[in-house]
Amino acid sequence: MPIPAGWASKLLSVLRIAAGLAFLEHGTMKWLHFPPPPEGMSGPMNAMTMASGTIELVAGALLVIGLFTRPAAFIASGMCAVGYFMVHAPGGLFPALNGGEAIMLYCFIFLYLAAAGGGAWSVDAQRGKS
Amino acid sequence: MALSLMRVAVALSFMQHGTDKLFGFPDFGGSPDALTLPLGILEFGGGGLVALGLFTRPIAFILSGQMAVAYWWVHAPGSFYPMANGGEGALLYCFAFLYLAAAGGGPWSLDILRGRE
């Protein structure tokens, strides 16, 4: 096998950090305008973007460091499911065409993290919680 | 079980890109070039194998590499930030497949049925 099975726990952490950072980026864009939002997304926030932006900011940061990984990932996964069906699903059946491909991937990746935890390289592992 | 669920969801979504390139369904509207056929075969065939959980680890390793190349070649020149360069999907596929290359397909996979981990 090209990748040893023994790396699984560490690569789970790598997946968690990569997905968490990209997810956090949505929260910082909404709340802090960093990175600068594209045209059409720079308007004032409403209740939904405040709620989703807060989850992206807080859960995203927790996922990056791997603290409270399982509950944070569960909440983030649920938020992505709601976001997919509320925002993207009306735009068509196929995720690659309705703009919901990334949020769909987040949803299932975080659902797995909610079950599996943060892996070897996480604050949770350091403090003795899986 | 959650691992198999993630594997199937990621692979099915990945296959869309292959079916677009090979069969024009769903039609993304791009125009074909020299890489369309080999990439379509990788995405449809490789994505299909990972969706079934057959030869999950070597195939996922190849697809992870494909997505790494796609990210750096196609998306990274656009912007440093995945949200701005359109490479968020490629990035997530890359790391999800890299993990599957180590962890395998989980309990619901043909690899398990044929007695391989």
Q: What is the DSSP string of A90-129?
A: GG-S-HHHHT-HHHHHHHHHHHHHHHH-S-SSSHHHHTT-
Tell me the pLDDT tens digit for each residue of B40-73: 999 999 999 999 999 999 999 999 999 999 999 9
Q: Is B58 exposed, middle or buried (0-12, 13-18, 19+ CB in 10 A)?
A: middle
DSSP B18-53: HHHHHH--S---PPP-TTHHHHHHIIIIIHHHHHHT
pLDDT interval class at B117 (50, 70, 90): low
Helical residues (DSSP H) of A34-100, grouped into ranges: 47-65, 69-83, 95-98
Q: Do B13 and A26 touch (CB under 8 A)?
A: no
B2-23 helix and A101-116 helix, angle to the nearest 10 degrees: 160
pLDDT, residue B15, reads 97
Residues of chain A with C-beta less than 8 angstroms from the C-beta of B96: 15, 19, 105, 109
Q: Kindly state the average pLDDT of the residues A32-43.
A: 84
Q: Do A108 and B3 touch (CB under 8 A)?
A: no
Q: Do B95 and A116 touch (CB under 8 A)?
A: no
State whether residue A41 sits within 8 Å of chain B by CB.
no
Nearest Cβ partner of A2 from B26, B61, B103? B61
Task: Classify A49 as helix, strand or coil.
Answer: helix
The mean-pLDDT minimum among A74-78, A123-127, B28-32 falls in: B28-32
In chain B, how many domains are there? 1
**For residue B116, is pLDDT > 80?**
no
At position A51, the amino acid (one-letter code) is A
pLDDT, residue A44, reads 85
pLDDT interval class at A130 (50, 70, 90): low
State whether residue A24 sits within 8 Å of chain B by CB.
no
Q: Is A33 exposed, middle or buried (0-12, 13-18, 19+ CB in 10 A)?
A: exposed
pLDDT, residue A43, reads 79
Which domain range does residue B94 map to? Answer: 2-113
pLDDT, residue A71, reads 98
State whether residue A82 sits within 8 Å of chain B by CB.
no
Vertex A68, ends A117 and B97: CA angle to 5°?
Answer: 35
pLDDT interval class at A25 (50, 70, 90): very high
Using CB atoms and an 8 Å cut-off, which of residues 48-67 of chain A contact chain B?
none
pLDDT interval class at A41 (50, 70, 90): confident
- Residues of chain B that touch chain A, judged by Cβ-Cβ distance less than 8 Å: 1-3, 5-6, 9-10, 13, 16-17, 20, 26, 28, 57-58, 61, 79-84, 88-89, 91-96, 98-99, 101-104, 117
pLDDT, residue A1, reads 86
pLDDT, residue A40, reads 75
Tell me the pLDDT tens digit for each residue of B73-111: 999 999 999 999 999 999 999 999 999 999 999 999 999
